[in-house]
Amino acid sequence: MKSNKLGGIVGAAICSGFCVTTVGGPDAAKQLPSHAELQAKLKAVVTAGGNAGFALNMWATIVNRDGEVVAVAFSGNDRGDQWPGSRVISAQKANTANAFSLPGLALSTANIYSAVQPGGSLFGLQDSNPVDTANAYKGPSENYGKANDPLVGKKIGGINVFGGGLALYNSDGKLVGAIGLSGDTSCTDHIIAWKLRHALNLDNVPAGVSGSGDDNMVHDIAEDANGHPKSPSGWGHPVCDGAEAAIVAALPVSHPVGPTP
């Protein structure tokens, strides 16, 4: 893997092959995947199957610790092979997971779902950091999902509270940003994000709120005595269907967090 160091300036350069972009701010000495690596590994995870949902193509976005977009990619052959609206959603999910994770505690977007519902401890959070629409919908559209996607180097903002966003921790356990996936059910988005983070070797998660001590999706929502949905843990996410729930539950074993040698 080649390194493309730009002296602390946000790395929006286009490189051939699996180069690596060095990003600015507090991440100046840390590295995140290039567009080429993100796209190749996204395609591999999607085409391998076993992700339940509708087996649709996906958008993926990576942001650095400052919330600046580093790369946007899609798994299909063209930008229209995925839901067009999922490009910005994937960026929102990356922004959310980065914004609400810490060096010692990872929160996935799925973990935040119950807390922002009416009566929840974080109700209203989803309105706290609006999307920068000027950056989200800049053109030309033909560059969306490419190495020169107009989002690269920009802050997208936005809070998204369903599955698909995960914080990124390097092999030293340092929080370096986040990844967001969108294009299928929210549970499948989470599954693919988890597998993709694992493939990128950026899943050295220090701790989380799930039963497995990481940022996996929590499926504990049930009706309370009044017939209202309630998450006993406070971190619950709805079950999409049984197949997805089984895959989610197995993720800490099938794709365990921690650095790959």
pTM above 0.85, yes or no: yes
Q: Is residue 136 part of a domain?
A: yes
Q: What is the pLDDT of residue 148?
A: 97
Number of domains in the chain: 1
Least confident of 54-68, 120-134, 153-167, 226-240: 120-134
Q: Containing domain of residue 96, as a range? A: 33-254
DSSP one-letter string for the chain? --EE--TTS------SSS-EEE--GGGTT-EEE-HHHHHHHHHHHHHH----TT----EEEEEETTSBEEEEEESSSSGGGS-TTHHHHHHHHHHHHHHT-BTTB---GGGGTGGGSTTSTTTTGGGSS---HHHHT-S-GGGTTSTT-TTTTSB------SS-EEEEE-TT--EEEEEEEESS-HHHHHHHHHHHHHHTT-B-----SSTTSSS--B---EE-TTS-EE-TTS-B-----HHHHHHHHHHHHHS--S---
Residue range 43-69, pLDDT digits in tens: 999 999 999 999 999 999 999 999 999
Within-domain flag for 25: no
Confidence category of residue 228, pLDDT binned at 50, 70, 90: confident
- 24 pLDDT exceeds 90? no
Q: What is the CATH number of the domain that holds 205?
A: 3.30.450.150
Residue 17 lies in a domain: no
The more confident residue out of 185 and 21 is 185
Residue 49 lies in a domain: yes
Which range among 15-24, 100-109, 252-261 shows the weakest confidence by mean pLDDT? Answer: 15-24
Residue 94 domain flag: yes
